[in-house]
Amino acid sequence: MNITIKDKNFETLIEYCMIEKRTRLIGLEISIAYEQSVPVFLGVLNGSFMFMADLLKEISIPCETTFVKLASYHGDLQSSGTITEELGIAMDLQNRDVIIVEDIVDSGTTLAYLLKKVKALKPASVKIATLLQKPDALAVDLGEIDYVGFEISNEFVVGYGLDYDGLGRNLKDIYRLCEG
């Protein structure tokens, strides 16, 4: 199915049923890995809210949640490279197991910025869970990302929390920008 958001056309890339299946598996992996712990899930707003909500429904162990809001896209199709911190870390993470939940890792610049902030708070451990990863777009070395829903090519996507100029976050499926 094709959709139009503002002046751009998009086509289906990943259907919600596939997102559900992959999220269920990641939730199971995390629940097993942290069964002796009470991890803190640190969601990166706005994009991660849908993935984090569905992921937490699949977590079978006690856990806590908190959010940060960082921005590197400012209405464009590519990251500006400038990170704006709109909501900082409001929880004491010292000696806690932290799982950063991202919607998408593309250049990695925002995640590298957040990792530095989180590690300065002296957590027991830090892992990353992301719904989407664009390996070809990585501009910084993040090491291995611990939990990845889907690897995608370096193309612009919307839906399931991801937006184009503020629109499209509410779509269940993930769509890619059509060429031309």
Q: Which pLDDT does position 170 carry in this prediction?
A: 96
- Cα(177)–Cα(158) distance, rounded to whole angstroms? 8
Locate the domains of the chain by residue range.
2-177
Nearest to 152 by CA among 168, 167, 131, 178: 131
In angstroms, the CA 37 to CA 17 distance is 30
Determine the pLDDT at residue 78. Answer: 55
pTM: 0.91
| CATH number for the domain running over 2-177 | 3.40.50.2020
Per-residue pLDDT of the chain (180 residues; tens, 9 = 90+): 899 999 999 999 999 999 999 999 999 999 999 999 999 999 999 899 999 999 999 999 999 999 999 877 555 555 556 777 777 788 999 999 999 999 999 989 889 999 999 999 999 999 999 999 999 988 888 888 999 999 999 999 999 999 999 999 999 999 999 976
> 13 and 179 in contact (C-beta within 8 Å)?
no
Q: Which residues pair with 65 in a beta bridge?
A: 41
pLDDT score of 82 = 76
Block residue for tokens 């079978």 = 60
Using H for helix, E for strand and C for coil, what is the string for 66-117? EEEEEECCCCCCCCCCCCEEEECCCCCCCCCEEEEEEEEECCCHHHHHHHHH
pLDDT of residue 97: 98
Give the pLDDT score at 149.
97
Predicted local distance difference test score (pLDDT) of residue 12: 97
In 120-175, where does DSSP find H-type helix?
none
Show which residues are catalytic: 106
Token pair 């259907």: residue: 15
User: What pLDDT, on a 0 to 100 scale, did the predictor assign at position 144?
Assistant: 84
Alpha-carbon distances, residue 123 vs 44, 130, 139, 161 (angstroms): 17, 19, 25, 27
**From CA 62, how far away is CA 39, in angstroms rounded?**
8
Return d(Cα 169, Cα 163) in angstroms, integer: 5
User: Which pLDDT value is given to residue 92?
Assistant: 93
Q: Is the peptide bond before 46 cis (omega within 30 degrees of 0)?
A: yes
**pLDDT value of position 86:** 74
